[in-house]
Every structure is written in structure tokens, then in C-alpha cells.
Amino acid sequence: MSSPTWIRRPAVVWVSDAGDADPNAPVGAMILTGRQALDATRRRSLSASLRELRARGATVKTTPDASPETKAAARQLRSRLSTVNPARLAEVARDIGEPDLSEALSGWPAHVPVTFETLANATRDNDRAWSLSRTARLLLALEHL
Amino acid sequence: MRDIVDRSGLRVAVVSLQRLGDVLTGARVTDGLSRRRDVASVDLVHWDQTEQAAGLMPGVDVCHPLPYGALRARGRVHPLAALHALGAVVELLERRYDLVVNLSSTRFACYIAPLLARDPTGIRGPFMDDDDGYCSTHPSGLHLNHWGVDPRINVFAHRDLYALAAGVRLLGLPTLPEDPSAQAQCDSSLDPRAPAPIALHIHASEPSKHWREQLGVHGWQGLIRRLRYEFNRDVVLLGAPSDAPELDHLAHLTGARVAAWSLRHTAELLRRCAGLVSVDTVTIHLAAAVGCKSIVLRQGSARGNAFLPGSQTMLLDAITAPATVEDVANVAAVHFFEETPIGHRLEAAARRIRLRRCDHESCGLLGAASPAWWPAPPEHRLDDMLAKTWRAAWHHSWSESERPAALLDQLYRHRSADPHRYARAFADPGPLGEWLRANDHAARPAA
């Protein structure tokens, strides 16, 4: 049994003047026009498909010869999908079905970096010293990848 | 891969999240487990980068490639993206296996392996327990973790430690099954009337394992010419398809041929070769798995016993300098073509390089020792003997409760010649350390 196809493909949002007709768009990318990208950034909350792509670590790309408006829209969408702010990661954690992590991230201390290890520590069962949850196991495995 | 049969029994997962050569060294485990009457199926969990090796493993029903590059790439974006991806991958295998045999001592594999087992008691090999502690169900797993690959102290081939941890018998190595499509490619590429060619693999996975420069009389170019003319045989350069342009250039200069093929096809080619000369790479394990004799040119991190490929292998380890073209040709004459060794050619070489032949010892463990015809200095013969004694002593300590008095005496008498191993084993908390300390205490007053 192979892993799901989406894992083996880079998660990309492709912002293009040509929209769906752009032959340069990577396989499996979500293709948006500049206007659609701009609309997505202006909405109060992200659409389910964009939230899923953010959870997969999506990057926002455009062609070098795109119009300035399309490039600006791509830039705004990139910023909206960025998870630099831990509060955004709290949303992502909720989206991927990790409520404990979401809770931990919503009150994340500013001086603590968000790493596999610190996240794993946040999910340990505090009642039992060092007892590893499934989530902590996965995070610690990734820490040592 | 074997045909899947519908029968009840244990569902087994073998976890081998390592490199190509490491995956191949688990062949005895997958083969041994698949032959057990109580086993219904054997699945292999491996990295997608090792798909070629995984596809050759005997006894495996289904391969599950985990996406190494994709997980790393997601981790660079944000940790939750990698968690999301790994969670989705693991979910497909989670709690599905009655027995999980982990052959990888990496922390990644040790954290993941317990998630695959239906029951915590269904794990063999190393793993991380719920208290975040490193555990192993067999002492060989702890030994591998503590003693690692350091050539000064480790005496075991890792494949033997894997087999011990998995509970499969040590004696005998499985041969990779023949492949008709690969046979057809070899038929069309090799002249059946010509003598069996000599294969060369020149590219190592890391620079410290490289032998000599490609061009010039003292490097691969010189070796190819020497082998072609001295033994009057074709030389075939092996490598990954991506190596083809470089190999083509070398072939153009020397008259060699190039077979930059997949592992499956390379395995078939090796069956038809008189021998392989190679740096430490996956090809030496492939050669061992199809019964092809090999000479391995080892330097840097490649030395030691951890990655011994199997019997019929000669190891040429650099001491003061890598083996010369003359050294390799001399050893090839004896090892590949059973010519009588010429003593005066070997004396000087034995000061520069260490030559050992791999063989299975009576208990089934793989060892390496200088052949009788090689003028090895006394310290090398002593080290061969001590390494064999340590193997036997450790193995004994993992399976028997009785002290092996003769082995312990031998190790005690030679402790000053083998200080690193002795000191480490002396401090070991397990039975062997206990025996050594007791033996030392008993022997000292008389000494």
C-alpha cells in the first residue's frame, strides 16, 4: 500500500494570468487567477480547500512573466497561508484533527520556538511522566528524520 | 516478491528504514520469517528511495514505501505539515501487524515501529517505549546501538544482529530469486561464448569511501586496463543510470563496457560475472546475494565489520594508503581465478593494506580473517582471532547462562592487545561484562 498521492506531490497554489489554461502549472496544483487569489485573501476565513493545502505545507507560486497584479495577489495569498505566527499553526492543528496541539499553540510562549521537539513536549501526558501519545511519537520521529 | 496466499497466521511487518545496502542485508530476515509456518504474510516498510532494493527482497508480500523526501520537504515548511503527512502514511499501517520486526536503529524507526503493532508485545528489535526510553527485545539490538559501527570495537556484521533480533536462524543466506526479464537483458548484452567478465563499481555513496582517481595509470583507468589484459576478459562498469555519462567516458578510454542498470538487472549481470571489484556500496551486498565473488576496496568510514556483505568477499582495507592497481590484480588472480599467490608480490602490500576474507563461522556469524596465503603481520592475525573470540563471547552471553571459561580466559590474556574492546565490554552492565569482571577478579591474584 503506497502513501496517498498528495504526499508525494508538492503542495502548490499556482496563481496565473491564464487560470486553468496555464500549461506551466505543476501537476496537482490548485490553480487560481490573480482575482481569485485576491478574493481568497479578502475573505474572513480561508476556504476548506485552501486550509487543507496550508496544512500540507503549500507554497504559492506564479510565473516570472505574470502581470504585476497577479504577482501582488500571489504575494498576499502567500502571506495569508504563512504559518510564521503560532496562532496560524493553532488553526492548522485544528484543521488536521489535533485539538490538544491546537490548544497548546494558541497560548504558545513567544520565546519558545515551534519545533517537532517542543510540540511533542506539549502533547505529552502530564499525568504520566514522559508517556508518549501517538502525536508525540510522530513528532519525535520527525525530529530525528 | 512471493505470491500472496490466503491463509491464516501472523501478519508480519519488517521495518527497514535505511539505505539501499542496509535494506538488502535484511534479506535473511524477510526470507526466514516468510518460511515460518505460523506466518501468513511479510510486508516490508522502507523508504521510497530504496524501492529498487525492496523489490528484490525474498519472502516479501507487499512493500510499503514511506516518502522520505516529501516528509523532509514538508518539515521545512512547518512541523504540522510533516505531522499531517506522516500521520496519513502511518494510519494506513497502524495496528495492522501481529509482529513488527524493526531492523533500523534510527530514532525515526524506533518511534514509528510500535505504532504498527496490534499489541505492544508484538515488537522485535529496537524501539522507543512509552517512557521515551530506547529498548530492544533482544540484547543484540542494544549492542548495535551502543557499539555501532566503530571499526576499533565492533566485531559483528549488522546483518547478524538483525537476524538475532528477529529470531531467524543465522546459518545460510538466501539467494535472490532469478528474474526472467533481467535475464533477457543480460542475454542481449553479453556474448555467451566469451569468458565471464569482471565487474567494477567505482562510485561510492560518500567521498571518504572513494578508492583512487578515475583517470590515470594508478586509478580506475589503470585498473581496468590491467584486468582486461592480464585476465583477457571484458570489464563491465556498473553504476546507477545517472552515472552513465561519466562511466561512458571511462569506457571510451579503456575499452570497458558500461551497464548502468537498475539493481534488478545488475543482480542478474553479477550472476554471470567472474567477480566484482567495488568500493563499499550496495553492489557488494547485491553480489553476495547472488553468489558473485567480490573484492571490496575500503577506506575511511567503510572499514570495520558492520557492513560485511557475505562469504566469498575479500576486503582490502587501506592502512597507510589505498590498495594499488597491482594489489587488486594480485588478489583478483587468487580470489577470482584461483591462481597460486606469488609471495614476493604480497610482502610489501601487506604493510600498506589489510586483506581479509569473509566467511561464516561455525555458529553462523559472519566474520573476516586474513587468508593463510596472505603474509599478514602478526598483529592482524591476533586481531582476527580476538574479533572471532569476542563474537563468540557476546553471542554466548545472549543465549546461555553458563560462563564460557575458555573464551573469557583468552580475552583476559590478550586484554592489553585489545584495550578498547576490553575496556568497553568490561564496563558493560550485561552478562558478558559481569563475567569479565568476575574473571578478572579471579585471575588477578595469580597474575
Quick: pLDDT tens for B18-47.
999 999 999 999 999 999 999 999 999 999
Indicate the pLDDT class of residue B190, thresholds 50, 70 and 90: confident
Whether A10 contacts chain B with CB within 8 A: yes
Q: Examine the pLDDT at B212 and tell me if it is beyond 70.
A: yes
Indicate the pLDDT class of residue B248, thresholds 50, 70 and 90: very high
In terms of Cβ atoms closer than 10 Å to its own Cβ (0-12, 13-18, 19+), residue B384 is middle
What pTM does this model have? 0.90
Q: Which of A2, A59, A144 sits opposite B106 (nearest CB)?
A: A144
What is the arithmetic mean of pLDDT over B355-372? 93
Angle between helices B419-426 and B378-399 (to 10 degrees): 20
From CA B438, how far away is CA B404, in angstroms rounded? 12
Write the single-letter amino acid at A121.
Answer: N
Q: Examine the pLDDT at A130 and tell me if it is beyond 90.
A: no
Among B84, B79, B75, B92, CA closest to A96: B84
Phi-psi sector, A127: left (phi>0), alpha (psi -120 to 50), beta: alpha
Whether A56 contacts chain B with CB within 8 A: yes
Q: Examine the pLDDT at B74 and tell me if it is beyond 70.
A: yes
Residue-level pLDDT at B186: 87
- For B376-418, the pLDDT digits (tens) are 999 999 999 999 999 999 999 998 888 999 999 999 999 999 9
**Sheet with A30-32, side-by-side order of all strands:** A30-32, A12-15, A59-62
- For B136-148, the pLDDT digits (tens) are 999 998 898 888 7
The x, y and z cell numbers of residue B435, run together, are 563475567
CB contact under 8 A, A83 and B85: no
Residue-level pLDDT at B232: 94
Q: Examine the pLDDT at B343 and tell me if it is beyond 80.
A: no
Q: Examine the pLDDT at B203 and tell me if it is beyond 70.
A: yes
Indicate the pLDDT class of residue B160, thresholds 50, 70 and 90: very high
Helix H, strand E, coil C: the string for B378-433 is HHHHHHHHHHHHHHHHHHHHHHCCCCCHHHHHHHHHCHHHCHHHHHHHHCCCCHHH
Indicate the pLDDT class of residue B302, thresholds 50, 70 and 90: low
CB contact under 8 A, B88 and A134: no
Q: Examine the pLDDT at B446 and tell me if it is beyond 70.
A: no
Whether the complex's predicted ipTM surpasses the cut of 0.85? yes
Q: Using CA atoms in the order B345, B348, B352, B354, what is the torsion angle rounded to 10 degrees?
A: 60
How close, in Å, is residue B74 to chain A by CA atoms?
A: 6
- For A19-38, the pLDDT digits (tens) are 777 788 888 899 999 999 99
- Provide the 10 A C-beta neighbour count for residue B320: 7
Per DSSP bridges, beta strands B99-102 and B275-279 are unpaired
Residue-level pLDDT at B116: 97
Residue-level pLDDT at B445: 61
From CA B42, how far away is CA B20, in angstroms rounded? 19
Instruction: Using an 8 Å CB-CB cutoff, list chain A residues near B128.
Output: 132, 137, 140
Place of cell 561519466: B246
Contacts of B444 (CB under 8 A, 6+ apart): none
Q: Which of B65, B81, B114 sits opposite A2 (nearest CB)?
A: B65
What is the arithmetic mean of pLDDT over B235-244? 93
